[in-house]
Amino acid sequence: MEDPRRIRIFTVSQRFQVKENLRALRLGKRLIFAALFTMVTCGTGVILLIFELVPPILCHFVENCLFLNPFLICLVTMYSSPALQQEFEKAFPSCRFVRNTEKPDISATVEPIVDLKKSLEMETNLYFKQLSDSWV
């Protein structure tokens, strides 16, 4: 969408939808990683217990890993949204162990518009018409 050679001009609503879809995909990728990490950890523990490579008393650690799965997923979800991350870090200042290395995209392309007010009005009307059509 940001390619300068592109002829098509995307509306504000289309840009917003694409950015929301990308954000949802990033969150899904993080949640899948957290779930896989928990499954591998618990699966390894179960295999070690089955083949009696560790003492049976360690069964409690495997059970606790299984029960902590929602805790891990909640942490990943909280740190995926900047607003939730800020509120969480305000409530628990000692939990600032995850740093976001992504820099927000602040670049914007401005398309030349002859009559700005008319164009904005047309885009707004089109957006709300599409919104009302989608709810029918």
- The average pLDDT across 89-93 equals 81
pLDDT in tens, 45-55: 888 888 888 88
Any residues with CB less than 8 A from the CB of 107 and at least 6 apart, and which? 2
**How many Å apart are CA 59 and CA 94, to the nearest integer?**
30
Residue 108 has a pLDDT of 47
> For the ranges 6-10, 46-50, 88-92, which has the lowest average pLDDT?
6-10
Phi, psi of 107, deg, nearest 5 = -80, 145
pLDDT band of residue 91 (cuts 50, 70, 90) is confident
Q: What is the mean pLDDT of the chain?
A: 75
Residue 136 has a pLDDT of 47
Q: Count Cα neighbours of 39 within 13 Å in the Cβ-side half-sphere.
A: 6
The answer to whether residues 11 and 127 touch, using CB atoms and an 8 Å cutoff, is: yes
Phi, psi of 108, deg, nearest 5 = -145, 145
Q: What is the largest CA-CA distance in the chain?
A: 77
The answer to whether residues 97 and 81 touch, using CB atoms and an 8 Å cutoff, is: no
**How many Å apart are CA 20 and CA 101, to the nearest integer?**
19
